[in-house]
Amino acid sequence: MKSFIKTKRIPLFSLIVLLFVVETVQAQIETTSFNQSEFSKDESVYFFTNRPIVVKKDNSFTFKNSSTKQTNTLYFCTYNFKTDSIELNFRAINFSDKYPTGKVKNNFLYDMYKRRRIDQGIKNFYFVVGGYGKTFDKQVHSYMQRLKGRYGKSLFGKVAIVTFAWGTEEDVYQYYNAVRKSKNGAADFAIFEHMLEEFVSDTTFFKTHPNDLTIDILFSSMGNNLFKEYMERRKAQNIPLKKVYNRILFFGSVAPRNSFEKGKAFYDLNQMTDTVDVYVNSKDILLKMSSLAHLKSRMGNKGPKNPEKLPGYINIIDVTNLITKEDMAKMGHDYLLTNPVLQDQILTNIEANVESKKKKK
């Protein structure tokens, strides 16, 4: 399938670096930076992807539309709403079979911080990990346009939205394959998480720079299983958790209902975040179908098990009564982008994060 997203040409030298450069002495993560155009607050947004890059004959590029592979690579890019184009900013490659733990040279999140926090005054960062059933075009073009269309300047003027356009199963009926392939996305997500934790933990840097960021991450649908796989493998590698998020949000979660119980993937999330919000919609038809087909109840339509025993940092938010006819047109699963009440709630949470950060100072 041919991508319809326009891309800028990459200079020949950058292409050579992109395709062939490998340092003689390799760190666990090798990074490559590319030139960046001026970042427009109202027209541009960052995203990152683990999809294989596709370089065209004219030296323009896109990313593979259909891919579920683990690539051990993340590309950080800019998407421009006005021109419907993408620009390559940075590449990180993990040369180990294990999740990264070593120092990242030229961590791109410092550049992102400079452009959004220092140059534009944006203090809120909102990372989004979506579900399956999406090609690259849908993840970047369609999703970004819908997101801005729904939230507009009320969100984009206050928050730096950053989406992980991960390589996932594009056919909706291939649910079980999407579950299996989410392990690949989790392994590449680990590169981003390590970069974020290293950046947030840099006390030397923040002695001379404003340390007033609020950072949320939202997992939707199959993105929840990606995160579950990530947490399980991280624990198996004995990598300590670090608190980097103000809030972790689970929408339409395909994760098992017992995920917060001792020994399960989400048990120690208080070591990563201040707050967890679990959104529950009992009208979610897709999750009902999944439960019936695989004889496993999902957290997104049934809620976590034994909610009365959950610690106080976990909020269960039942939105069933808020679901509209428009939401049900998408089988009650895509309400994040269709329900105005929930959109207002997300904006309220962002403002609450800011106030909470001020009080802690």
Asked if 107 and 195 count as a contact pair (C-beta separation under 8 A), the reply is: yes
Say which DSSP state 8 is in. P
Which of the four pLDDT bands, split at 50, 70 and 90, describes residue 5? very low
In this predicted structure, what is the pLDDT of residue 75?
96
Nearest-CA neighbor of 218 among 229, 227, 230, 207? 227
The CA-atom distances, in angstroms, between 331 and each of 9, 101, 319 are 40, 41, 14
What's the pLDDT band for 3 if we cut at 50, 70, 90? very low
Distance CA 52, CA 160 (A): 25
Mean pLDDT of 94-116: 93
Contact criterion met (CB below 8 Å) for 9 and 60 = yes
329 class by beta-carbon count within 10 Å (0-12 exposed, 13-18 middle, 19+ buried): exposed
What are the DSSP E strand ranges found in 201-325?
A: 214-220, 245-251, 273-280, 314-318
Residue 43 carries which side chain, given as an amino acid letter? Answer: E
Nearest to 160 by CA among 46, 263, 238, 253: 46
Q: Which helix (H) or strand (E) holds 349?
A: helix 340-360
Helix (H) or strand (E) holding 93: strand 85-94
Residue spans of the domains in the chain: they are 96-360
Residue 105 burial (CB count, 10 A): 12
3-state secondary structure at position 81: coil
- Please answer whether residues 73 and 94 qualify as being in contact, where contact means their C-beta atoms are separated by less than 8 angstroms: yes
Pairing outcome for strands 85-94 and 73-80: antiparallel
Under the banding of pLDDT at 50, 70 and 90, the label for residue 62 is: confident
Contact 163, 136 (CB under 8 A): no
User: What is the CATH code for 96-360?
Assistant: 3.40.50
69 token code pair: 């592979």
For range 119-140, the mean pLDDT: 86
Q: 10 Å Cβ neighbour count for 336?
A: 25
- pLDDT classification of 338: cutoffs 50, 70, 90: low
Give the pLDDT band (50/70/90) at residue 17: very low
pLDDT score of 10 more than 80: no
The answer on pLDDT for 106 being more than 80 is yes
Residue predicted with more confidence, 358 or 321? 321
DSSP one-letter code for 256: B
Give the mean pLDDT of 107-114.
95
Least Cα distance to 221 among 291, 145, 286 occurs for 286
Summarize pLDDT for 155-188 with one digit per residue, the tens: 677 789 899 999 887 776 677 777 888 899 999 9
CB neighbours of residue 354 within 10 Å: 16
Q: Which of 189-198, 320-329, 352-361 has the highest mean pLDDT?
A: 189-198
CB 266 within 8 Å of CB 259: yes
Rounded Cα distance, 200 and 206, in Å: 9
DSSP string, 94-149: E-SSSPP-SPPTT-HHHHHHIIIIITT---EEEEEE--SS--HHIIIIIHHHHHHH
CA 45 – CA 80 distance, rounded (Å): 7
DSSP per-residue letters across 54-68: EE-TTS-EEE-SS--
